[in-house]
Structure 1
Amino acid sequence: MTAEMIVVIIAIILMLVGLFFEIVRPDLLVFGTLFFFLMMGYVNTEQALTGFSNEGMLTVALLFIISGVFERSGLIERLIGKFLANTKSERGALVKLLIPISTFSAFLNNTPIVVTLTPIIKKWASEQKISPSKFLIPLSYASIIGGTITLMGTSTNLVVNGLLQQEGKEFTFFQLAWVGLPVTLIGLVYLILFSPKILPNNQSLIEKVKKNTKDYLSEIVVTYEFPHNGQTVEQAGLRNLKGLYLIEIIRENRSITPVTGETTIYHGDRLLFTGMLSTIADLQKRKGLTLDTGTDLSLNDVEQQDAPLVEAVVSHQSYLIGKTIKQSRFREKYNAAVLAVHRNDERVQGKIGDITPKAGDLLLLVTGQDFDPNQEHRDFYTTSPIEEQKFYESENKGWLALILLLSMIALVTFQVISIFKAMVIAVGVLIAIKAISPKQAKQSVQFQVLLLIASALGIGNVIKETGTAQFLGATIVESLAPLGVLAILASIYVMTNVFTELITNNAAAVIMFPIGIEVASKVNLDPIGMAVLVAVAASASFLSPIGYQTNLIVYGPGGYTFKDYIKTGLPLTFIVMITTIGIVYLKYI
């Protein structure tokens, strides 16, 4: 092992630790690691930046736009809503939910599918008096395994295909279906039969908070003795209160939210506070402020004041990570006030403005009239129904987009054109017929995800060019050769899967691909077979909420703990692993 290899391995380990502990946003951390390697001279500029022109990465960008059309049309939500309409039982609902979800996920980005269906499932479960936690993890898992069926099923498949093209080979459109279809069928049977017995009966965050309103809300009445009548919140000294957060002002049955430092206060206003309510006694000592204990204002009253309550999950690439709620200027930026923050199904204590959100945190928001549930940068995903929300486009355009997509898939399947060219044509047509505007197309693209993929591809080149992949591949083969090829395949699968659970699926695939290819050459395995193994292992994240975006999205709304993912996901992990290794061994050795 050379000194260069040692530095590369140490740097990658530090990057993995940083990703696990969420020191900074994943895309910035991976890009920073790539920049370090570039400065050290381990790769040249072309090798480091090759990921930014990689066909797989660019195809992912185009698929974001196509998924954006479906998200705006509301087509998938309406179809699933109709499927669930007359369903009463848990297993019946799972059948009607998971089969179409896994099918949709084979052809569309599963993240927007899970985002848009989570509030629908929660609303349906509430109407049927069934816990939504019985459905949300199965929703995520079904979308993951469905994505293993086709080349475009997940960004990971496209990234691995881009790496494979550098080796002079590539996937056909349904190449992964040899593994993905059996995995999906067996996985769905497991989820439908067994997940209802394993998963907990949890209430939604809104329901929990409504049962404990006094732990969250206190009401202060502004009397005629208040010396700051007509002044702003800032001038009245109510802006930076220790342990308290002013989320709403009720004035003559009219709601003012979110409250900013420039909001004016008048006699008769009712001020609604949240936070460390034990300090409310200090506030009512001020002249003209009286704690109202007789009105018994509840969260239902808040909602009736045209300030709907919304649950939102902080995303991996969120602008909020690393900043306190106050530093991020949350109220001004999103036109919403944070009522509570829950992490690991427990409320985060302390003053709301001083809390630093993490990926997966569940925020309970009191929203203003201009609140946008589909904010441009996807800092969080709204997971509760918003009655006023309108779809941007008609359902007809959703059907048109579906027909166009299926036509392009047919051309790719019969190898008339490449998947990249097919997606370029599809996006061009969708923009030309105004199914999506250029602005909406830009908003649909998750640039942080693309930066992560492109940077990870550069790091993959570092692992390959420095000889690190060859060294690690040879070490694995030499160590496990006495146990046979199956043991070697299992080691690559497990390593990839562990990386996926700890970091992200795309980063795991890019790190393990060059090592896997070296191993494949030494055990006479077709590189296509190793690429399939790595792609499936990188997607099969079932043991934690942090390895895969869809698991993170349902984490807070389902009120889950890490233990719930392990109990439900461990059997599915073994099912997918055994099926994948067995098929790869039989087909590609």
Structure 2
Amino acid sequence: MVMMELGAQAWITLGVVIAVLVLLASNRVGPDMVLAAGMTVLLVSGVLKPAEALGGFANSGVMTVAVLFVVVAGLRETGAIQWIAALVLGKPRGLFLAQLRLIVASSSLSAFVNNTPVVAMLTSATQAWSKEAGLAPSKLLLPMNYATILGGLCTLIGTSTNLVVDGLLRRQGMELDMFTPVWVGVPVVVVGAVYMLTLGRWLLPERKSAVEQVQDARQYTVEMVVDENGPLVGRSIEEAGLRRLQQLYLVELVREGRVLGAIPPQYALRGGDQLVFVGVIDSLVDLRRIKGLSPATNQVFKLGIRDSQRCLIEAVISRVSPVTGRTIREARFRNRYNAAVIAVSRNGQRIPQKLGDIVLRAGDTLLLEGGREFARQHRYSRDFLLVSELDDSTPPQHARAPYALAILAGLVVSTTLFDVETLNAALIAAAAMVLLRCCNQGQARRAVDYQLIVIIACSFALGTAMEKTGLATYVAGTMMGYAGGNPLWTLVVVYVTTVIFTELLTNNAAAVLMFPIGMAAAAQLGVNPMPFVMCVMVGASAGFMTPIGYQTNLMVYGPGGYRFMDYVIVGGPLSLLVGITTLTVVPLVWPFH
């Protein structure tokens, strides 16, 4: 039996890979911790030497991903992305033209800027855009998101997955140019655009966003005043029983015009304190039973009113957020972020249960009330996929945006026309962003997604182990057996498997795991490896059918009011069409022989 030919180290590697796949799919442990643990097991067990296990951290592709975060920070902080979006989008006139302009703008932008910030910027613009045009945001956000994913396939720097595959390829003595992926990227963008503007347009649901579901935040708000000289004066929040209400949640206290958001339970009450509760409005009777509290007659501090201290914020929880998998109370959300949760939306619907008992999940959209500094502090935090201030979403325009755009143009031109190494060009561009004050040093440091870098670098260890132990060769041989030794059918199997991994895991992990298998299959068949390389690259980004298939899918999940099946219904045909296009174009551009 072929399986018996695997050595002990191959069996250890197989066990580690399976364990990593299961843990990543379960989403119970952060992907960085899972992959770091897998790398550690391979190192301690002797499967890999230290240089092999840690080789991903020295890979040029991984380092380029890290440096490009600084370049994107410059584009983001100067408002260059918003400026381009506002220029291209203009005033919407009808659903078809709105979708067309969004698809063209988002796919073009994401070819040169990482798709995550593009989706973040365009989501806010699209929400305002759809409101102005009277269109459902669910008809626009998913097409924009899919176009952004596909547009990222057109250049080497369009998405981190492309750079990761290039980094793996360089270890084989080959490399990709800036526009090498364009030969397959442009066809899939065109096919995707035609689909979204025809059949996909009819499959898109018409739903309200998470914010529209909470049509008036004040209808979930109860405002009470502590009576002067009443029995609650001098007592703490806890002693007054304001922490044990069944259907109401104390979110803030207003004292002498000052708003206090995160109120500790031991905080002492004073006469005249204004208390704001959110939850089930019918539970007002619970507050009326508390002696010393009276309904507020002065309504000037309602949540819907703009002032200098408070605003409404929409935030989408990420898979790696520390609050994921915990109730709002357990996560101590107010203390952690100094913001109060007004409502939670999931699967296109507002969750009606008591706020403190809601277990938060990745993709949940929170309607928050907090200070105006919240959006600034957490807009690019890894805890949230999207943070948008609802009453001030106008895209900023800054004087240094032309500098940032010129730096980006220089990066593209230098790597394309002057054959400058992508990493070198990215380092120069990042330095220019800081020197020309497109972003400051603090913003540059915070821009780097260190967790993603750890995920990618540790994934390399699994790929190296699969190559070294012969596991990749064995898996490739098994795939060839199913494909009857035919190169095209083997390519189909490799592509489909990569897409499945992408939908269940992370796109970069799927690329790193499937790359050695694709290379081994090409070697056994004695054919050109480039078709397999390109199919792994495209397949690792073709996560359209689940909200977790690609990070940006989650970013539009709540704002669009989408449900899980929307991704299956709309993304399924798109995935099929992209697969057919890829498997048709790739062998023509990069022949097997």
Do both share a fold (TM > 0.5)?
yes
* Cα distance in 1 between the residues matched to 2:322 and 2:374: 17
Q: Return the match for 2:182 from 148, 169, 177.
A: 177
Letter in 1 for 2:289: K
What SS does structure 1 have at the residue aligned with 2:165?
helix
Q: Residues 428-481 of structure 1: CA distance to partner in whole angstroms, max 9, x if unpaired?
A: 122122221111101111111111111111111122122110110111112211
Letter in 2 for 1:164: L
Q: Which residue of 1 aligns with 2:22?
A: 17
CA change 1:123–1:511 in 2 (3 A) is same
What SS does structure 2 have at the residue aligned with 1:321?
coil
CA change 1:568–1:390 in 2 (3 A) is closer
Distance apart, 1:11 and its partner CA: 2.9
Distance apart, 1:239 and its partner CA: 3.8
CA change 1:286–1:87 in 2 (3 A) is closer
Distance apart, 1:384 and its partner CA: 3.7
* Cα distance in 1 between the residues matched to 2:279 and 2:516: 50
* Cα distance in 2 between the residues matched to 1:305 and 1:542: 41
Q: Which residue of 2 aligns with 1:219?
A: 223
Q: Which residue of 1 aligns with 2:210?
A: 205
Residues 1:108 and 2:108 are matched in the alignment: no
Residues 1:395 and 2:398 are matched in the alignment: yes
CA contact (8 A) 1:500 1:508 kept: yes
Q: Which residue of 2 aligns with 1:331?
A: 334
Q: Which residue of 2 aligns with 1:545?
A: 547
Residues 1:419 and 2:422 are matched in the alignment: yes
Task: Map 1:463-502 to 2 at 5 A.
Answer: 463-481=466-484, 484-502=486-504
CA contact (8 A) 1:24 1:322 kept: no
Q: Which residue of 1 aligns with 2:569?
A: 567
Q: Return the match for 2:147 from 123, 142, 151.
A: 142
Q: Which residue of 2 aligns with 1:577?
A: 579
CA contact (8 A) 2:78 2:439 kept: no
What SS does structure 1 have at the residue aligned with 2:540?
helix
Q: Return the match for 2:196 from 191, 202, 210.
A: 191
* Cα distance in 2 between the residues matched to 1:311 and 1:348: 15
* Cα distance in 2 between the residues matched to 1:463 and 1:575: 31
CA change 1:303–1:259 in 2 (3 A) is farther
Letter in 2 for 1:339: I
Letter in 2 for 1:88: R
CA change 1:374–1:74 in 2 (3 A) is farther
Letter in 1 for 2:432: V
Residues 1:505 and 2:533 are matched in the alignment: no
Q: Which residue of 2 aligns with 1:160?
A: 165
* Cα distance in 1 between the residues matched to 2:302 and 2:547: 29
Does 278-287 or 438-447 show the bigger shift? 278-287
Distance apart, 1:65 and its partner CA: 0.9
* Cα distance in 2 between the residues matched to 1:273 and 1:452: 41
Does 346-355 or 112-121 show the bigger shift? 346-355
What SS does structure 1 have at the residue aligned with 2:316?
strand
Distance apart, 1:309 and its partner CA: 1.6
Task: Map 1:362-381 to 2 at 5 A.
Answer: 362-375=365-378, 377-381=381-385
CA change 1:196–1:251 in 2 (3 A) is farther
Q: Residues 530-587 of structure 1: CA distance to partner in whole angstroms, max 9, x if unpaired?
A: 1111000100111111011111100111010111111211221112111111122223
What SS does structure 2 have at the residue aligned with 1:533?
helix
What SS does structure 2 have at the residue aligned with 1:539?
coil
CA contact (8 A) 1:120 1:385 kept: no
**Number of aligned residues:** 585
Letter in 1 for 2:442: K
Q: Residues 322-344 of structure 1: CA distance to partner in whole angstroms, max 9, x if unpaired?
A: 44433443223322111122222
Q: Return the match for 2:278 from 274, 279, 282.
A: 274
Letter in 1 for 2:426: M
Give the TM-score of the pair, scaled to structure 2: 0.92
CA contact (8 A) 2:224 2:293 kept: yes
Letter in 1 for 2:371: G
Residues 1:72 and 2:72 are matched in the alignment: no
* Cα distance in 2 between the residues matched to 1:548 and 1:423: 24
Q: Which residue of 1 aligns with 2:51?
A: 46
Q: Which residue of 2 aligns with 1:346?
A: 349
Distance apart, 1:383 and its partner CA: 4.8
Give the TM-score of the pair, scaled to structure 1: 0.92
* Cα distance in 1 between the residues matched to 2:19 and 2:414: 44
* Cα distance in 2 between the residues matched to 1:480 and 1:415: 42
Q: Which residue of 2 aligns with 1:93?
A: 98
CA contact (8 A) 1:171 1:528 kept: no
CA contact (8 A) 2:52 2:461 kept: yes
* Cα distance in 2 between the residues matched to 1:475 and 1:66: 42
Does 430-439 or 138-147 show the bigger shift? 430-439
CA change 1:233–1:549 in 2 (3 A) is same
CA contact (8 A) 2:329 2:357 kept: yes
Q: Which residue of 1 aligns with 2:413?
A: 410
Q: Which runs of 5+ in 2 are unaligned?
A: none
Does 416-425 or 11-20 show the bigger shift? 11-20
Distance apart, 1:366 and its partner CA: 0.7
Distance apart, 1:161 and its partner CA: 0.6
Q: Return the match for 2:293 from 289, 299, 303.
A: 289
What SS does structure 1 have at the residue aligned with 2:127?
helix
* Cα distance in 2 between the residues matched to 1:196 and 1:385: 29
What SS does structure 2 have at the residue aligned with 1:560?
coil
Does 203-212 or 108-117 show the bigger shift? 203-212
* Cα distance in 1 between the residues matched to 2:280 and 2:356: 11
What SS does structure 2 have at the residue aligned with 1:585?
helix
CA contact (8 A) 1:457 1:510 kept: yes
CA change 1:369–1:406 in 2 (3 A) is closer
Letter in 2 for 1:246: L
CA contact (8 A) 1:334 1:371 kept: yes
* Cα distance in 1 between the residues matched to 2:174 and 2:82: 38
Q: Which residue of 1 aligns with 2:464?
A: 461
* Cα distance in 1 between the residues matched to 2:180 and 2:84: 29
Q: Residues 104-134 of structure 1: CA distance to partner in whole angstroms, max 9, x if unpaired?
A: 1111111011111111110111122111111
Q: Residues 506-530 of structure 1: CA distance to partner in whole angstroms, max 9, x if unpaired?
A: 0010111111111111223322221
Q: Which residue of 2 aligns with 1:530?
A: 532
What SS does structure 2 have at the residue aligned with 1:481?
coil
Does 343-352 or 433-442 show the bigger shift? 343-352
CA contact (8 A) 1:314 1:361 kept: yes
Query: Considering only aligned residues, what root-mean-square deviation do their CA atoms show, in Å?
Result: 2.6
Q: Residues 179-219 of structure 1: CA distance to partner in whole angstroms, max 9, x if unpaired?
A: 111111221122223333221111122221125864x3333
CA contact (8 A) 1:134 1:195 kept: no
